[in-house]
Amino acid sequence: MAQRASKKSADPAANHTSAQVVRDLHERMVRIRLFETEAGKLMEAGKLPGFLHLYVGQEAVAAGVMAALRDDDQITSTHRGHGHAVAKGVSFKHMYAELYGRVTGACLGRGGSMHINDVSLGMLGANGIVGAGIPIAVGAAFAAQYRGEDNIAVTFFGDGATNIGAFHEAANMAAILHLPVLFICENNGYAEFTPQSKHMLITDVADRAASYGMPSVIVDGMDALAVHEAGVEAVARARAGEGPMFIEAKTYRYYDHQGVKGLRHPYRSDEEVAEWKARDAIDLLEARALADGTATRAELDDTWQRTRDEIAEAIAYAEAGPLPDTADLLLNVYSG
């Protein structure tokens, strides 16, 4: 990402002016939005195999949190992981090539959408098993604490994932070991097609943190700056050795659980979708930036255009990439 410090230990949150933060958040969100919309189109056109869980609508969460992290901080993600990967800086080329199943992809064509990773950027993988990334982030945080390093780990998960045992076990473990790990719940109100009210009896998922002695905060997940502020604070705490923290971001996904359309049974109303879209995170940030003079329309448009160009190039790269060689079927099953 252009404006991100290249030095590993540089802390963007510490050095950025508020205008830089806004531009950073904007760029990360635009990158996610365009990556995802184009991926959706490719899926619709029948060009991509497998499943595609789109993140559109939730951009403020990935952008807000990731802008508070350093490159050497670690994240784990979910089946809906493109947004986290893009915001962490994983290259469009590697991501699209992976969606196409090319050997040039982030997983050499072995993983697909649900397994995108870039260990060099601290992106420890999207995950096909709900909740499975949560204990892994706890392990990454443990490694940092063990070695006396000050990088932290962040795990992203949905409201639905907090019903799985792995979440509860990992939260308790992180709390008692005072690990530098942030639990980021992206509460989009649904687990697949089941609304939150039907899969838990509490309104705020953040309430769950209290039972593990973990402080929590609830933020507006459509407000990238609010997410970012909460993220900066939580990151500082964790880095200072004050232990884990839970952030619940209330957000929304615009597309279906999987794929672009295909609502078999309408499990949510058009009005509800429209209400959330009216508070679109990118629109909100742009309006604010324009109102307070942080950015001009031309500057914002430039970000969109540059990103579009980069995406076109990345898709061309993906389509031109070679397919994996079947002679390498056993590649990477083991190390060494």
Ligand X SMILES: Cc1ncc(C[n+]2csc(CCOP(=O)(O)OP(=O)(O)O)c2C)c(N)n1
> Where does this chain bind another protein (CB under 8 A)?
49-51, 98, 101-103, 107, 109-112, 114-115, 127-132, 160-161, 163-166, 191-194, 198-200, 264-265, 267, 323-324, 326, 329-330, 333
**214 and 178 Cβ atoms separated by less than 8 Å:** no
| 85 scored as a contact of ligand X (CB under 6 A) | no
| 158 scored as a contact of ligand X (CB under 6 A) | yes
CA distance 255 to 83: 14
Select the binding partner of residue 166 from another protein, ligand X, none (C-beta < 5 to 8 A, by kind): another protein
CA distance 145 to 84: 23
Strand partners, 216: 246
| 192 scored as a contact of ligand X (CB under 6 A) | yes
- Both tokens of 223, joined, read 């407000």
| 272 scored as a contact of ligand X (CB under 6 A) | no
Q: What are phi and psi of 310, to 5 degrees?
A: -65, -35
Strand partners, 195: 190
Q: What are phi and psi of 187, to 5 degrees?
A: -85, 100
Which of the stretches 137-145, 172-180, 188-196, 273-281 binds ligand X when contact is defined by CB under 6 A? 188-196
CB of 54 to ligand X, least distance (A): 10
CA distance 81 to 32: 10
CA dist list (Å): 205 to 81, 202, 241, 269: 20, 7, 24, 23
Q: How many residues of this chain interact with ligand X, rule: CB under 6 A? A: 15
CB of 329 to another protein, least distance (A): 5
Binding mask 287-326 for ligand X (x = CB under 6 A): ----------------------------------------
Nearer to another protein by C-beta: 35 or 100?
100
CB of 200 to another protein, least distance (A): 7
Q: Which of 4, 47, 110, 128 lies at the binding interface for ligand X (CB under 6 A)?
A: 128
CB of 161 to ligand X, least distance (A): 4
Strand partners, 118: 123
Q: Which of 129, 240, 278, 331 lies at the binding interface for ligand X (CB under 6 A)?
A: 129
Handedness of CA 30, 36, 38, 40 (dihedral sign): negative
DSSP per residue, 210-229: HTTT--EEEEETT-HHHHHH
Nearer to another protein by C-beta: 186 or 223?
186
Which of the stretches 22-30, 35-43, 153-161, 261-269 binds ligand X when contact is defined by CB under 6 A? 153-161
Return the DSSP state at 325: P
- Both tokens of 24, joined, read 């950073």
User: What element of type H or E holds 75?
Assistant: strand 74-76
CA distance 189 to 250: 8
Which of the stretches 90-98, 158-166, 222-230, 270-278 binds ligand X when contact is defined by CB under 6 A? 158-166
CB of 169 to another protein, least distance (A): 11
Please name which of 162, 151, 171, 155 lies closest in space to residue 61, comparing C-alpha atoms. 155
CB of 84 to another protein, least distance (A): 17
CB of 317 to another protein, least distance (A): 16
**Binding footprint of ligand X on the chain (CB under 6 A):** 79-80, 128-130, 157-161, 188, 190-192, 257
